[in-house]
Amino acid sequence: MLPGVVSMSVCSLVTTQDADGTELTAENHAVWCQVHAGSIWAICAEGNPYPFAVGQLQMDPEELQSMVRKPKLARKGKLIKVWHVFGDELWKMGTQSAPNDGFSPEAISPVNHPHDQQLKDNQRDVQVKPSDAAHLDVKEPIKTSDKNLIDQWLNESLFQAIKVGAIKQKQLPILTNVFFASILLPCRRAGHVLDIKRSSYKQVSVFLRYMAAELVIEVEEKNGIQSVTSIDRRHPRVVSHEIYLMDSEAEQHASAHSHDQIQKSPIIEELYRLSPNLWRLIGPEEQQKDTKTRVYFTATEIRDLLWKYTQGAGLEDARNKACVRLDGNLTDILYPRKLASIEKYPLKLPRKDIIALLFAPNSKFCIKHHRIKLPSGSEKIIRGEATKIEICAKKVKNSIATTVANLEIYQVDTAECAKEVRRMWGCNATLTINPAHAHRTEVMISGQMAKEFVTYLETKHNIPSKFCSVSYGQGVRLKK
C-alpha cells in the first residue's frame, strides 16, 4: 500500500482508542462522536481483525457519513493519509510481525455479514491454542542481513536479466528506477528479496555505477537523472552466469498449478542439430563423450556456445566488439568449399554475418528440426520445417471436394475424423492415399468445407488455425 488514498470498499476503519476494536460503519452511531478530521485510525481488510496500517483521517464527519451511505463504486475522495503501514521502515525497527500472525483460520476467514455484532463477538472470543499454529502455512520471504549475500543476489539478477534477454535494445536508454523495478526485481532468484538498503551499495545508482565500472553496462547521468544506455551481452561474467528459476517464472508456475492449467494446444519449437565438425568445435565437453545420443539446441543456445568458443580462443576483436576474428577451424566451418584463386578468405567477420552463414536455409552445419509437443503429453522431433495441416478445397470432376492432409503428425486419427465429419455435416468423407507421402492418408470431404474443418480442429482437437494451411483450387472461392 502506498501513502495516500484508501478506499472504504476494500478496507474498514477501526478506532485506535476503543479497546474492543469497534468498526466505523453507517449503522454504528456510537463511534461517530469520535470522528473528526485529523483523528488517527487503524485500517484493516474486511473480515480480517488484524490492522495493517495507521493513518490520519482527511474528511469531515458529514462528508464521511454521506460517503459511507453511498454504494461502494460511487465512493470518491481522499479518505485517509497513511503514516505507518506493514513493511515500512518503522515496521522493520520492531518485531516484524506479519498480519494474521496468531489468529486461527476461523478468526480470519471472510464474514458474510460484517455488521452482525454477534458474529464479531464470536470472532473476538476465539482463543488460539499453541497446536493451531502448526496448521498455519505461512511462507515468509527469505531475509538476511549479510551484505555480501545481498550483493551477490543483485549481481546475479543483473547477469540473469542480460542473459535471458529481459533487456531489449529498443528499451535503452532506461531510467535507473524503472530498470530496477521492471527488470532486476522480476529476474531475481525465486524466493529471494532484493533489499537494496541492506546491501553494501545502499542505492540503486551506486550499484549501477559499480557495474558500469566493471564494463557490464554503461550509465549516463544528465541533470541529476541517471539512465542505463548500453549493456554488454558478451561480458565474461554474463557468459559464465548459469540461468536459474526466476521469481517471475515461479509466480507463473504457481498460478498455473493453482488453476490446474494444462496444455490445450500443440506447441512447435524450432531446434537445430550440429554437424559433426561444428559439434566437435563448440559442443559442450560433458556431452561430447556420449556420441550415440542425439542432442538438439535452440538458436540462442548455439549462439551462446559459439561466442563462448570465440572468447576462449581469444578471437574477439578488441576494437570492434561487433566483429570476430576467424581462425582455421571457423574458416573451415564457414567456407567448406574452396574459394577461387582470386578471392581471399576474410580475416574477420561481423557476428551477424557468421550467424547468417550458420543458419542459412540449406546450411549443413546447423540442420533444422522442429519439436511438436501435443496436449496428450507426447512429443516428437522431425527434421526440416514444421509441417502444417494442409486443407485444400478444389474441383474434382464436376463437384467440389475438400482434402485434408498431415493429420497424423498431430495425432489425429483420420478414420475417426472421417466418421465424425459424416455424422456432423451429413456429407461423404473417404480416406485416400496422400500423393506426397505414400505412408500417410488424407481425408476427402465432399463440398466446400475448408472453413468448417478449421473450426472443427480448434474445438475438437485444440489445434489452432495457425497450424493449418488453407488453399483453394481454380474456380473455388472462399465462402462468405
In a domain, 479, yes or no: no
**Which pLDDT tens digit goes with each residue over 206-236?**
999 999 999 999 999 888 889 999 999 889 9
pLDDT at 2: 39
Residue 123 inside a domain? The answer is no
User: 406-465 pLDDT, tens per residue?
Assistant: 888 888 889 999 999 888 888 889 998 888 887 888 999 998 888 899 999 888 888 888
Number of domains comprising the chain: 4
Return per-residue pLDDT of the chain as tens, 480 residues: 333 334 443 345 554 444 343 445 444 555 556 677 788 888 877 656 677 888 888 877 777 777 767 765 566 677 788 888 888 888 777 777 766 544 444 444 444 444 445 544 544 444 444 333 333 333 444 344 578 888 888 999 999 889 888 888 888 888 888 888 888 888 888 878 888 888 888 888 899 999 999 999 999 988 888 999 999 988 999 988 888 888 777 666 555 554 444 556 678 888 898 888 888 888 877 666 655 556 888 888 888 889 988 888 888 888 888 899 988 888 888 887 766 555 777 888 999 999 988 888 878 888 888 888 877 777 888 888 888 899 999 988 888 899 999 888 888 889 999 999 888 888 889 998 888 887 888 999 998 888 899 999 888 888 888 889 999 988 887 776
Check which CATH number belongs to the domain holding 447 and give it: 3.30.780.10
13 and 103 share a domain? yes
Last residue of a domain, one of 316, 334, 369: 369
The reply to whether 153 and 247 lie within a common domain is yes
Last residue of a domain, one of 255, 280, 296: 255
- pLDDT tens-digit profile of 343-386? 777 888 999 999 988 888 878 888 888 888 877 777 888 888 88
Q: 53 with 152, same domain?
A: no
- The reply to whether 329 and 405 lie within a common domain is no
In a domain, 403, yes or no: yes
Q: What is the pLDDT of residue 340?
A: 55
CATH number at residue 102: 2.30.130
- The domain boundary, picked from 369, 401, 419, lies at 369
pLDDT, averaged across the chain = 76
CATH number of the domain within which 345 lies: 1.10.245.10
Compute the distance between CA of residue 57 and CA of residue 15 in angstroms, rounded to an integer: 11
What pLDDT, on a 0 to 100 scale, did the predictor assign at position 460?
84
Residue 436 belongs to some domain of the structure = yes
Residues 213 and 171 in one domain: yes
Cβ proximity of 161 and 144 under 8 Å: no
CATH of the domain at 202: 1.10.10
155 lies in the same domain as 226:
yes
Task: Establish if 325 belongs to a structural domain.
Answer: yes
Residue-number span of the structural domain to which 433 is assigned: 387-472
Short-list 188, 193, 197, 190, CA closest to 142 = 193
Question: Are 337 and 432 contained in the same domain?
Answer: no
pLDDT given for residue 46 in this prediction: 64
Same domain, 89 and 165: no
Q: Do the domain assignments include residue 214? A: yes
pLDDT at 124: 47
**Is residue 188 assigned to a domain?**
yes
Residue 178 in domain: yes
pTM: predicted TM-score of the whole model, two decimal places: 0.43
